[in-house]
Structure 1
Amino acid sequence: MIVVTRLNTSRFAINPDLIERIQENPDTVLIMLNGAKYVVVEPMEEVIELIAQFRARVVSTARTLDSTAPTGPTSDGTLPLRPRTV
């Protein structure tokens, strides 16, 4: 999730995977896949940077998972994951 600010200064978190496009003319508008539109105070470049940072965190977190962890499901059907020890 990324945190952005509405024009009334209230902040909210939004899933960047659901953003279809970003327009700036002059306000920044986030247009979602479902057609919803959110006008935010952050400039388009800052929103793009927030999305890039979010994706970098996701990749970084994924890399901390131990690649030698058991790969099969446990008795309750979940996959066991544990942090990598470096």
Structure 2
Amino acid sequence: MIVLTRLNDSHFAINPDLIERIHANPDTTLVMVDGANFIVTESMEDVIEKIARYRAHVIALAYDPSAGDLPRGPRKI
């Protein structure tokens, strides 16, 4: 799940796998596969980044179940 912000500043979590498309016109609108729409304060780029981090976290857990926290940036090796 990713956490986003509604226009009234309340937060909600959404399953990014159920997002069909994202519009920026000028408000960022998420269109879900069931037709529901959510308008959020984050930019389209920020939402895409949150989705990418979420998916990277899921993949990291598949390789290392003890990797419980979301990755914050590039890891130093």
TM-score for the superposition, normalised by structure 2: 0.83
Calculate the aligned-residue CA RMSD, in Å.
Answer: 0.9
Q: State the match for 1:32 in structure 2.
A: 32
Output the amino acid matched with 2:44: M
Identity rate, percent:
61
Of structures 1 and 2, the one with the larger relative CO (CA 8 A, separation 6+) is 2
Q: Which runs of 5+ in 1 are unaligned?
A: 66-82
Q: State the match for 1:20 in structure 2.
A: 20
Output the amino acid matched with 2:40: V
Q: Structure 1: how far apart are the matches of 2:45 and 2:57?
A: 18
Output the amino acid matched with 1:42: E
Number of aligned residues: 66
TM-score for the superposition, normalised by structure 1: 0.75
Q: CA deviation at 1:64?
A: 1.3
Q: Which runs of 5+ in 2 are unaligned?
A: 67-77
The question of 1:61 aligning with 2:61 is answered: yes
Residues 62-77 of structure 1: pairs in structure 2 closer than 5 A: 62-64=62-64
Larger radius of gyration: 1
